[in-house]
Amino acid sequence: MFTRKVTFQIILTTLVLWVMHTPMYASDAIEKQLTRPDLTLFTTWYADPTTSMVIQWLLYTPEHEPEIIRLRWQADDAQHWQSLQAQQAPFPKSKLTRYRVELTNLEPDTLYRMRFGYEGPIYTFRTAPKKLTDKLVFVAGGDAGNWPAAVQVSQQAAECDPLFAVLGGDLAYANGVNVDAWIVFLNNWRKHMLRSDKSLIPLIVAIGNHEVEGSFNKSREMAPFFFNLFGPYFPDTTYNAMTFGNYLQLIMLDTQHISPIAGEQTNWLKETLQKTPPTYRYAIYHVPGYPSHREFEGELSQAVRENWSPLFEQYKVPVVLENHDHCYKRTHPLINKKPVTSGFGVVYIGDGAWGGEIRDVRQTLQNTLYAKTQKVNHFIQVTLTPQSQHFRAISNTGDVVDQMTLTHSNAK
């Protein structure tokens, strides 16, 4: 006799391909399985990652009032549990309720335990350190979805024991309408994005075309799932910066899915970059300025190069993480669209193949600009120490595709 867990897995497996290619609302078959918080339980950050954590999950609540749920938590070495009632909101286009607990005033670099109610399994999460004293690892990529390669890449990424994962758009491939794509995505993330100590790996995001019904130049209403889950981090705009102590800042940008590239967003980018930088600072967004598959003269790629690249150069952003093209690429250090052999240059790494179907590298690609290209599913492991920043692209089968080390001075 099948257990409920096995039944859920069978239904998921059966529906994955259908889900990925069929625009729709929700199917009862998948929704009805969400009777336990842990199936879609995931963590993210809206505020200071050293002292806060956001925990969210989806539950099937067809007709009745959603159940009130209290989440209990404690530091790993604490004696007593604390508890908080989860906020509730309907999850769009479904019979699901999204539950959220936002914990603040936590201790940096600390493992916390949490559980639902007084019994049942215990889950853990870790806050970010206040200072970069030794080594810090995070993983980056984009264009994930629910294809088999996405699961393989997540499994490889989790093996790096990252503090967090940052995805630059095209997360669940829900296109603003497909609830089931989000259910499957979160279930896969829950199952595979665990550190060796089994703590949940927080998901930080930027927006991509597959978050939005209509892809480009749309309103927030056309990306209902994205804002239901990540809206408090993007309350007024679709770009923001996340700062970790004095050592790391991630700048998430929107390649015109909702916010135009030129104008207000570029002005905000300049103001953000003008502020005193932490030790390391990177930008991440969806459509590449230096594409590996699509046309170099694509309208949005040109807009990225014309509006943002001069700022990355002026304010010395050493590495920019791009996505959307489903290949691996690394450019040479570039200034004014040309490679530099000495001194500072901006390196563009990508191009979003966490799980999406990989594509051919463009035949007419200008080899003088690109140091490495390859048609391969991969993620990027970033290892920071006070002295250096190391980037390693790892494939879905665990092979090292490419690597690059920059000294600390490259970040200044």
Residues that bind Fe ion (CB under 5 A): 170, 208-209, 324
Q: Which is nearer to Fe ion, 208 or 224 (CB)?
A: 208
Q: Which is nearer to Fe ion, 40 or 377 (CB)?
A: 377
Where residue 369 falls (left for φ over 0; alpha for ψ -120 to 50; beta otherwise) is alpha
Determine the 3-state secondary structure of 63 from DSSP.
coil
Q: Which is nearer to Fe ion, 324 or 362 (CB)?
A: 324
Residue 33: DSSP 8-state: T
**Measured at the alpha carbon of residue 238, what is the angle toward residues 145 and 299, in degrees to the nearest 5?**
75
Instruction: Record the tokens describing residue 85, joined without a space.
Output: 């009632």
Q: Least Å distance between CB 286 and Fe ion?
A: 6
Q: Least Å distance between CB 213 and Fe ion?
A: 14
Q: Which is nearer to Fe ion, 53 or 206 (CB)?
A: 206
Integer Cα distance of 258 and 227 in angstroms: 12
Which residues neighbour 338 within 8 Å (Cβ) at sequence distance 6 or greater?
Answer: none
Q: Which is nearer to Fe ion, 208 or 289 (CB)?
A: 208
Integer Cα distance of 16 and 109 in angstroms: 36
Q: Least Å distance between CB 324 and Fe ion?
A: 4
| Closest residue by beta carbon to Fe ion | 324
| Residue 285 amino acid letter | Y
Q: Which is nearer to Fe ion, 216 or 344 (CB)?
A: 216
Q: Least Å distance between CB 301 and Fe ion?
A: 12
Integer Cα distance of 394 and 24 in angstroms: 33
Tell me how many helices (H) and strands (E) the chain has: 8, 23
Q: Which of 281, 284, 394, 254 is nearest to 328 (CA)?
A: 394
| Residue 157 amino acid letter | A
Q: Least Å distance between CB 210 and Fe ion?
A: 6
Q: Least Å distance between CB 209 and Fe ion?
A: 4
